[in-house]
Structure 1
Amino acid sequence: MLSAALTGVALADLAASRRTIEAERRVENPLSLGEENPVRLAFRCHGAPVTLEVCDDLPLHLEPAGEWPVVRLEEGAWVEVGYRVRPGRRGRYAIGPLHGRYRSRLGLWNRMITWPITDEVRVYPNLLAVRQYEVAMRQGRQMEGLKRARLRGAGTEFESLREYQEGDEFRAINWPATARRGSLVTNLYQVDRSQPIMLLVDAGRLMIPQIQGLSRLDYVLNAAMLLATVAAERGDQVGLMLFGGEVKAFVPPRKGRRQVMAMLESLYDLQPEQVEPDYGRMLGWFAARHRRRSLLVLFTDLVDPEINRGLTAHLSALAARHLVLVVTLTDPALLALSRCIPENAQQAYEKATALEVLAQRAETRARLQRSGVLVIDVPPSSFSAAVVNQYLQIKEQGRL
């Protein structure tokens, strides 16, 4: 009798636990690589109040950042909760069904619910830095890490005269006007706009190694997109070429924000390949299609001495017509090894290897600089800002 009674109570509890619960999902699209992107969930319960535990069916490379949400639902009211997802790889993904679980009133049962909601999402390079820059520009502020470039006095076409101000370049002083007025007078120039900026991105084997959870190529694309946004906002034409053993994607230089989106669409799902970068083929392909003097920003690595020698020869020839900037990423782990105090033979060997690699990089940087090539070699923490600041300095100095 007791067993039958308990069974009856349990079945009654199960029957009473039935609820109709509506669910919706809103996910930001595209997502930004390596960042915590918000996902919003909304629920409405038709029936007695319940406490609902929920989770999404996330694909590989999309990981929840933190705990799954728990939400208390009252009858008839929409309740919104959220969580954050951190993508570990660029590309296109499908978020599968949404799952929920709640306990019966007596706690004897867990009832599972699945809502057949699916969302296609794209994971782009890190766009949060781009958005922060755009917000700062709208609010008249300067994005943290970026230097303020003077937009006047940096071009080549004369605009007007004004009184000398602290920080004006000596070469900008107009000496005849200074003599007439009896005080220093400076020439102002219109900023050169609509200049071609070409981003050349190595997507070969050198860009596969990971640094702090992201591949070298991921860091490069994050920086390239911020640079493209800044250059487009300042009226320059921006183009893109991705290459490995051959040219993988090419977006000719054009002006405007739409150009930045075209670049994003061409590269967001491309991954580095196990091939040697063919600098000669890439630069020859580019030179045959683009002869106007441009700023060429080459994102690559300087880890292989033999490859570096060939790179220097190709860029030396290119620097006769174009302004060339080579951008490479320093691994913080390599720097840490070079500075450590060895406690055993293994650590001594690792330090010696790190010092040798850094010395080879320094030698390649010096060789490139002697050939008239600008070089940036910085760690991830300052990578994007260093690239954009170099561009702003080039524009300010009128070097194009």
Structure 2
Amino acid sequence: MTKLLKNLWARFLFQDRGILPTRKLLAFFLIFSIAIIVISAFLGFSWLWLSIINGIILVMSLIDLSFSPKSQEVTAQRRMSSEMERGITYTVHIELSNTSAYAMNVRLKDGLPQSFQAPFPLKGNVKKQETAILAYNVVAPFRGKYDVTKLYIRYQSVFGLWEKQMAIELEDTIKVIPDLTETKQYLKSAQQFLLAEGSKIRRQGDSTGEFTQIRNYVVGDDPRKINWRQTAKLQTFMTNEYEPEHVQQAMIKSMAQQQILTKKREKAKWERQGLFLVETEEEQLATTAVSRYIDIMNQGLL
């Protein structure tokens, strides 16, 4: 009995499938019943006849269902941002397609988490064999990763006596991150803030060095190197630090000089023994190239 009551209650909460009477039908049925009771008081109709008349009216109202689309003729798609900032309003678009020969009035409710703020139910009209786009605004107040799996729809014919409902599987994932509005405004007008302190931003060349560490952002650092993931996680500006290019050049020069020195020592060792070290053509080319590279670095051309 409890399970049956839960299933019936679910019918009225935008869940599963089924049909429901609309307010128009309930109001009409109530007025008609009162009128029949008043008339029967004067004509002396029995309660059996009253029940039969009400039953006939109820069965005739079911004809309204044949003038509304079937569930297979209604499809939907959801277009929403996969990443939202906390407390910021975003717009979600629902695309409803009606391939039937009948127009329909629709109400829908998206399967968002209960903490999300959105104006449901969303109402609209979809003409026969056409597609309509409905939109609503949503605000996510808490950080986290959320799955949205269903879209609940109720629709009725132009007569509006009975309402069909269905649930469409639409899987999306929303990642809610901290509000970065102030951060973006600061970076957008960083030049103005620094000019007030007597500093000026100069365009820096792209980093060609290797990544070394992540550290706190300080005034004067290149805003393009900010690590947004760590900034959002630690709630403070973090920037990527790269090895300076001149350090790499010094290391390359040191390794090249070491290679030339090793080659000279090996050649001198063979000469002391009265032997000569014969280099292949490839080795000679490599030695010449390394020597030439060191000369260029010494001249400051690199």
TM superposition score normalised by structure 1:
0.37
Greater length-normalized contact order (CA 8 Å, ≥ 6 residues apart): 2
Tell me which protein shows more helix as a share of its residues.
2
TM-score for the superposition, normalised by structure 2? 0.48
